[in-house]
Chain A
């Protein structure tokens, strides 16, 4: 069954703690992305990666970090420096980053900071 998996579905953390969100894809896609979704704001790009061992900041990268050591995996760490981390996080992938390529999305992780 091909697709993008994100885990966990719900995540709770205390203030001051770092937390890592998982994103795995078995579509053999080169490009992967992380978005944050907040009510009334749509999706905003956090980080994206065009290829293994390479990634670029998006519009709201402050307080987040990523790695891309394997083609199929693109974990996102929400650090304690992120001032308002409670949100719905979506991972996506595409075959490459050409403008015509479609992005496919995972089911998302809802992070709540207590």
Chain B
């Protein structure tokens, strides 16, 4: 069974610091990769997604992620965080075959201090 690992459970940063959140998955076949964000009191919403092509994908609010196939990784980055980035971030994987629902990581809670 595939799994998704997010190694950072709780990250605390000051405003303007750079962010990198790790995500690794275990499935060996073709996958599609997603990062979702859950702001306090709001719906889970899509930040960015990778299907094919350029492994560096850009999303909303200045976020980007890089797919490294050899490392089974899809890390999320932002050069300079803001207080409004305080949220919980989830990495998710969807296989190209078989079950087509998302498998989520356990999430990373990001707290940005002003």
Chain A residues within 8 Å of B, Cβ to Cβ: 31, 33, 35, 40-45, 48, 50, 56, 58, 90, 92, 97-100, 102-108
Contacts and interface: CB of A to CB of B under 8 A. Distances in A.
Interface of B: 4, 6, 9, 30-32, 34, 36, 43-46, 49, 51, 90, 92, 94-97, 99-107
Given A99-B95, A105-B45, 12 more contacts: A33-B102, A42-B4, A42-B90, A45-B102, A50-B100, A99-B32, A99-B96, A102-B49, A104-B46, A105-B36, A107-B43, A108-B43
A44 B107 CA distance: 12
Contacts of B36: 105
Contacts of B49: 102
A42 to B, nearest CB: 4
